Amino acid sequence: MSGSLKLFSLPWGAPSLKESIISMSSPEKVLIPLRSSLCTTGELLISEGDVVTAGQPLTRADGINAVAVHASIAGKVKRIFLQKDIQGEDISFVEIEREGKQEDFKGASGNQDCLKMSQDEMVQRITDCGVMGARFRPGCVPLGTKIKGAGCEDTHGQQEGMKSVSAIQKLVVTVFDPEPPITINRALLNGDRDRLGKALAALAALAGVGQVHVAYPEDDSEARGILSSISSVRVVPSPVDISYPNGSVRLIIKQLFNEELPMPDGVPLDCGIMVETLENAFGVLDALENKKPVTQKVITIAGSCFAKSVNIQVYIGTPLSDIVDYFGGFKEEPKKIILGGPMRGFAQVGLDIGITKEVDAFIALSGKDVTPADIKPCINCGECINVCPMGLLPNMLYLCCENQYIEDAGQNNLGVCMECGSCGYVCPSDIPILHYIRYGKKALKVLEEAENEE
């Protein structure tokens, strides 16, 4: 297996874990996407002009890979429209304007003993509530889809029916995040211990396993102490080296179980292992106990244009402009706005996009943090190959995509790339390799769709 990068430092730092997660009040309007990047749009349940309550379904998951979407605030559906999502894809959005007194979803059935539910009932519940599963290639899919072993984990993220997988034998929950400065899962670990134990127990029951391997940074003694105190489920504290890219399930599984995923596009379920985040475990608990849908999201706020780095809980669809206003505006005009981390995130052209289930950070960088790259020709040094966690040839993929040999790139496992950005980070020629790979993936998708229409 190829190597990895050591964690890098950032001049503006990560949120302090000694501070609690801030809760932002509901905005005047929300812009909610009707699907996530790797999902299909479910059956639309509302029309323009409808009045909706907080938590009301906007779509119903009517297919293997469809996602249920819910209103995050109470109000009136002003419009249903096409807009580019955070990755530049044209998808449908719903704009809801707040009306009347705002109350969060309270739950329709009180606390249920979710451990007594059948797995089929659990899967249906989390599907209805729009709970997403961690996906360590770009994008995310419904957790219910993962549990069913659906064929959404193929190279290009396309639905190809059910995929034969082993029964889940091991469950891993990560309490660290894909890259600095994001710390949302680690911050959630510092919360209510009783609820933490219930969340891990609920996810274990859903997966049908008797214990949970909780992966935490090997130098985090506080995390180990927290995990050792949980009694509601058998927790196996599992220290791991989180050298970047620490979101790579291949590296996690290799460290914990000394198992290799099948190449080139194997997934944890091929080995009977499910890997999830602590944030998603809490989503499972909310759904199973109270039928509470996913209407809020914890994100990290960071970057030199903000006064400080913090973790904040916002409503799905909250415009970036509202978040900026909440913090009293920027310290200085940003040169670059990123949704996601500095390595894997997506640059945005403005503040009129809403927070989605996939967003884990909002970073605003000043001019001193953004230096135009002096791109030079590839010197075939092989540094990008050495750091690729998927064992790919990033230099060849870049050349294929740059020169429009898209099908050749696809045949060389373009879709397997997890888009960690390590290749471009170490490139002495400052080639934006990830940019070309993302372009190639979109171009390949267009080619495949055209072939399917013929």
Q: What is the pLDDT of residues 311-359, one digit of tens each?
A: 999 999 999 999 999 999 999 999 999 999 999 899 999 999 999 999 9
* pLDDT given at position 112: 62
Q: What is the reported pLDDT for 27?
A: 95
Pairing assessment for the beta strands 211-217 and 234-240 based on DSSP bridges: parallel
* Backbone φ and ψ of 346, nearest 5°: -120, 125
Residue partners of 163: CB distance under 8 A and separation at least 6: 149, 150, 151, 153, 154, 269
Does pLDDT of 255 surpass 60? yes
Question: At residue 159, does pLDDT exceed 50?
Answer: no
Helix axes 119-128, 278-290, angle to 10 degrees: 100
What does the alpha-carbon distance between residue 443 and residue 159 come to, in Å, rounded to a whole number?
Answer: 18
DSSP structure string for 349-364: S-S--B--TT--EEEE
164 pLDDT more than 50: no
> What is the b/e burial string over 327-344, where b = at least 16 CB atoms within 10 angstroms of the residue's CB?
beebeeebebbbbbbbbb
Q: How far apart are CA 176 and CA 173, in angstroms?
A: 9
Mean pLDDT of the chain: 88
Is the pLDDT assigned to residue 114 strictly greater than 50? yes
> What gap in Å lies between CA 48 and CA 50, rounded to an integer?
6
Q: Residue 1: what pLDDT?
A: 43
- pLDDT interval class at 60 (50, 70, 90): very high
The full set of domain ranges for the chain reads: 115-156+164-290, 383-453
pLDDT in tens, 192-209: 999 999 999 999 999 999
Tens of pLDDT, residue by residue over 83-110, are 999 988 889 999 999 987 767 776 655 5
How many Cβ atoms sit within 10 Å of the Cβ of residue 186?
Answer: 22
Amino acid at residue number 222: E
Percentage of the chain lying above the pLDDT 90 cut: 67
Topology annotation, domain 115-156+164-290? Rossmann fold (3.40.50)
Give the orientation angle of helix 278-290 with respect to helix 193-207, to 10 degrees: 80
